């Protein structure tokens, strides 16, 4: 018979001020690949299916509480250290005796697999009350060092600023991730003191507290330092973005996309590419993009909140904004912007055009310089264009307006009324030609 499964809860600490970010926004709300960093961590934690996820926030972190829903939030009233932050979560853990995973919200790239390894290390045996996630660096940054016992259990955690030269030479560093016996957690947290220079309560004191009771702390060693990339400054955020983009590019290549110059393509966390998609250099995908099979996206295109079906060609220098849906075999060319619009099969808008709040029927040609005038200063209005319509160059379609199937709109026309099927619209001022005017004007100018 299988052993009963040990319940799991997770406490994520997000209440730090993040002063080095120099931002009014909570640190964990800064985005990596289009998603707040707290969401990156939550997605990994959710893979473990814990019974509870508790996020500890600062008092005014309303945006964090909204973002982590439906998970519970508790408030750390004053920033008195990581130990105090865990104490704020204890009422929400009342009666819980399983394992408690404690994570830092500003360490967003830790994988579910590594979390599981930390949990399994805690479950090493009845003499193990806690596990700490450690990482080895060739040249350690200013992280706390893990001082080990001869039996490879943890003796203590020494902060870099408090370490002796011998301790600072240790390569194994603390990441701030812990897995703790929930039955003992409240008692141990209650014993954390604040006799330090900062007058704060630190979770790093727990291994020493457990050792006094004869309870061992073991270390789960991580060898991929990218997973514990900490974000405490804008520079750190840029490093995390680089790590994530490398992962997303690798995933795209492995799933059958061709990236002409991978290092210049930027993905969002949720970008979906079909098979045999070709992406040119300097393409940026914002959130909410789904691309079908056999699509080509040329260089310098920017796409967000858009769906592109099979066999389409986009760009170069195209912009697809939220609400755009290109059906099959659509062509959207250079310097074309599309927003909140549906382009049916085979539509062509090859250059220098704007399509906003519109629906364009199959086979329609939307020529250079054509625009939908969709905004009247107060409200947005819709343009509906039928199938196989010819919209000539420099046409202005003043919405709301409908063009029937097969209509032909002559170049330079401004259309303010609905057009019937197969009709020709020519809306131009009468051409006037004054013979010899240019020569007379030049003569007048030269005489002055």
- Which residues have a catalytic role annotated? 351
331-339/319-320 β-pairing? parallel
> What DSSP designation does 98 have?
S
E runs forming strands in 206-320: 216-222, 258-259, 272-273, 278-279, 284-285, 290-291, 296-297, 302-303, 306-308, 313-314, 319-320
Element (H, E) at 67: helix 62-68
Task: Give the 3-state secondary structure percentages of the chain, helix then strand then coil, rounded to 5.
Answer: 25, 30, 45
Give helix 182-190 / helix 82-89 axis angle, nearest 10°. 130
Q: Quick check: bond before 235 cis, omega within 30?
A: no
- CB contact at 8 A, 294 and 280: no
Q: Which residue(s) pair with 306 in the sheet?
A: 324
- CB contact at 8 A, 255 and 273: yes
**What are the backbone angles phi and psi of residue 101, rounded to the nearest 5°?**
-90, 125
Question: Closest by alpha carbon to 122, among 256, 261, 269, 10?
Answer: 10
DSSP for 181-229? EHHHHHHHHHT----STT----GGGHHHHHHHTT-EEEEEEE--GGGG-
- CB contact at 8 A, 394 and 354: no
For residues 86 and 188, give the distance between their C-alpha atoms in angstroms, rounded to a whole number. Answer: 11
Please tell me the total number of residues recorded for the chain in this structure. 448
- CB contact at 8 A, 285 and 297: no
For residues 338 and 325, give the distance between their C-alpha atoms in angstroms, rounded to a whole number. Answer: 9
Give helix 112-122 / helix 37-46 axis angle, nearest 10°. 60
Measured torsion, CA atoms of residues 150, 154, 155, 158, in degrees rounded to the nearest 10 = 130
């Amino acid at each position: 018979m299988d052993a009963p499964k040990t319940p799991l809860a997770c406490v994520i600490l997000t209440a730090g001020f993040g002063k080095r970010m120099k931002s009014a926004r909570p640190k964990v709300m800064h985005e990596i690949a289009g998603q707040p960093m707290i969401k990156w961590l939550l997605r990994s934690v959710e893979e473990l299916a814990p019974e509870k996820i508790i996020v500890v926030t600062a008092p005014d972190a309303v945006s964090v509480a909204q973002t982590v829903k439906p998970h519970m939030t508790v408030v750390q009233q004053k920033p008195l250290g990581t130990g105090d932050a865990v104490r704020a979560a204890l009422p929400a853990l009342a009666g819980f005796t399983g394992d408690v995973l404690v994570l830092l919200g500003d360490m967003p790239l830790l994988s579910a697999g590594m979390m599981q390894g930390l949990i399994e290390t805690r479950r090493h045996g009845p003499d193990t009350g806690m596990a700490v996630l450690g990482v080895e660096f060739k040249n350690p940054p200013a992280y706390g060092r893990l001082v080990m016992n001869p039996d490879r259990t943890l003796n203590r955690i020494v902060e870099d600023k408090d370490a002796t030269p011998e301790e600072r030479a240790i390569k194994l560093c603390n990441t701030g991730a812990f897995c703790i016996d929930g039955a003992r957690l409240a008692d141990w947290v209650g014993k954390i003191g604040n006799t330090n220079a900062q007058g704060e309560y630190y979770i790093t004191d727990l291994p020493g507290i457990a050792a006094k009771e004869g309870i061992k702390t073991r270390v789960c060693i991580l060898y991929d330092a990218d997973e514990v990339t900490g974000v405490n400054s804008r520079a750190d955020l840029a490093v995390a973005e680089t790590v994530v983009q490398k992962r997303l590019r690798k995933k795209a290549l492995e799933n059958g996309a061709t990236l002409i110059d991978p290092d210049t393509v930027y993905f969002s966390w949720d970008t979906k590419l079909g098979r045999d998609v070709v992406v040119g250099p300097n393409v940026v995908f914002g959130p909410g993009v789904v691309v079908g099979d056999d699509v080509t996206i040329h260089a310098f295109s920017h796409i967000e909140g858009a769906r592109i079906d099979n066999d389409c060609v986009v760009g170069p220098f195209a912009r697809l904004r939220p609400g755009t849906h290109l059906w099959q075999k659509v062509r959207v060319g250079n310097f074309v912007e599309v927003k909140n619009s549906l382009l049916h099969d085979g539509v062509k808008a090859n250059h220098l055009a704007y399509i906003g709040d519109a629906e364009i029927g199959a086979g329609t040609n939307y020529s250079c310089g054509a625009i939908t005038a969709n905004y009247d200063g107060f409200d947005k209005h819709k343009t509906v264009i039928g199938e196989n319509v010819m919209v000539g160059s420099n046409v202005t379609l003043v919405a709301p307006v409908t063009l029937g199937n097969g209509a032909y709109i002559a170049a330079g026309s401004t259309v303010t009324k609905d057009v019937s099927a197969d009709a020709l619209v020519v809306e131009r001022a009468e051409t006037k030609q004054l013979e010899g005017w240019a020569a007379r004007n030049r003569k007048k100018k030269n005489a002055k």
